[in-house]
């Protein structure tokens, strides 16, 4: 679906983190809906490098870009010489900044701040010099244990990832006061959908439970999973928000969710219905009580007003559309 009618012919678009889940989805959106745009994907791509928690440092994967015909550049946003070369070689009209250390369990505070905050400032400075509108990924993690519905302006991050994203938002607000470009921060809630598989352990529980069921395993849930709820949002609504943010009614920080919290039990029940399975759920004690969010729900009133955004997919509709891809990834990557 095409979300804007603006002609992007000969416009140049930079997508950082463009081999990741959301970045690659954006790249294909432009290729399919605005083929005359010049799309440049920048990603550090994965190596064998891991964080201290054992998870990969980068989730960028070439398979997310198979079929993409734009330009692909491998590089780290912390590399100032790379950013200088990008600025010298291209005149960007829009920058979609999705690159980050996105693992919320990462303990490397120095790397998190350097990559998520300091490198963003370098990119924002480039956007200002090039008169390029900036759309960047913030996060629902900025809210931490803030009460639902989570509302911009009431934040309490519980990890360094959420803190780094909140500091990005503070920086952005300061620059918005005098900037001639539009700057939009999008606070993503729990995103699921195609091209997330290569996030490995940090992929959504939708695909993880889907693959458990396809393996014939009983789904394992925490006790009281009917009371543990999240604002789960399908990738196509995330793309919608990003595209609308190219020409916002007003620069700002906006929540991107559905405004409708659903439980993990709902997730498994919907998956079982769509996959035609009826495995018995197994319930485990929740070891994270006291340091675990039991309810997230995005207040999207300002997003509707500021971007013209309206979520299109219910949880049932999103999972149903996702099922063929869950099955394909199972056949190609899991079995």
Which residues are known to be catalytic? 161, 199
Of residues 139, 144, 154, 149, the one with CA closest to residue 254: 139
Angle in degrees, CA 215, 197, 76, rounded to 5: 155
CA dist., res. 228 & res. 108, Å (int): 28
Check: CB of residue 103 under 8 Å from CB of residue 46.
no
Report how far apart the first and last C-alpha atoms of the chain are (Å, whole number): 32
CA dist., res. 197 & res. 201, Å (int): 9
Contacts of 126 (CB under 8 A, 6+ apart): 83, 86, 87, 92, 95, 132
DSSP class of 332: I
Q: Considering just the CA atoms, what is the radius of gyration of the chain in Å?
A: 19
């Amino acid at each position: 679906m095409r979300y804007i009618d603006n002609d992007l012919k000969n416009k140049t678009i930079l997508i950082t983190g463009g081999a990741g889940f959301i970045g690659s989805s954006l790249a294909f959106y432009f290729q399919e809906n605005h083929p005359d745009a010049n799309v440049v994907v920048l990603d550090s791509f994965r190596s064998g490098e891991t964080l201290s928690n054992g998870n990969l440092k980068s989730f960028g994967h070439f398979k997310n870009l198979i079929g993409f015909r734009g330009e692909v550049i491998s590089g780290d946003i912390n590399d100032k010489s790379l950013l200088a070369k990008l600025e010298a070689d291209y005149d960007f009209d829009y920058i979609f900044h999705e690159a980050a250390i996105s693992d919320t369990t990462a303990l490397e505070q120095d790397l998190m701040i350097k990559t998520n905050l300091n490198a963003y400032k370098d990119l924002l400075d480039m956007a200002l010099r090039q008169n390029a509108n900036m759309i960047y990924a913030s996060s629902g993690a900025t809210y931490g244990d803030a009460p639902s519905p989570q509302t911009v302006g009431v934040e309490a991050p519980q990890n360094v990832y959420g803190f780094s994203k909140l500091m990005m938002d503070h920086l952005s607000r300061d620059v918005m006061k005098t900037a001639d470009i539009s700057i939009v921060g999008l606070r993503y809630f729990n995103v699921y959908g195609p091209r997330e598989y290569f996030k490995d352990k940090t992929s959504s529980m939708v695909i993880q439970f889907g693959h458990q069921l396809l393996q014939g395993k009983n789904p394992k849930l925490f006790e009281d999973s009917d009371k543990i709820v999240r604002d789960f949002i399908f990738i196509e609504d995330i793309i919608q928000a990003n595209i609308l943010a190219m020409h916002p009614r007003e620069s700002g920080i906006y929540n991107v969710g559905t405004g409708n919290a659903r439980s993990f039990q709902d997730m498994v029940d919907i998956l079982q219905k769509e996959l035609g399975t009826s495995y018995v759920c197994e319930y485990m004690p929740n070891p994270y009580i006291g340091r675990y969010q039991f309810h997230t729900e995005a207040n999207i009133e300002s997003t509707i007003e500021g971007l013209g955004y309206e979520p299109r997919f219910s949880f049932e509709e999103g999972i149903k559309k996702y099922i063929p891809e869950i099955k394909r990834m199972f056949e190609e990557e899991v079995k």
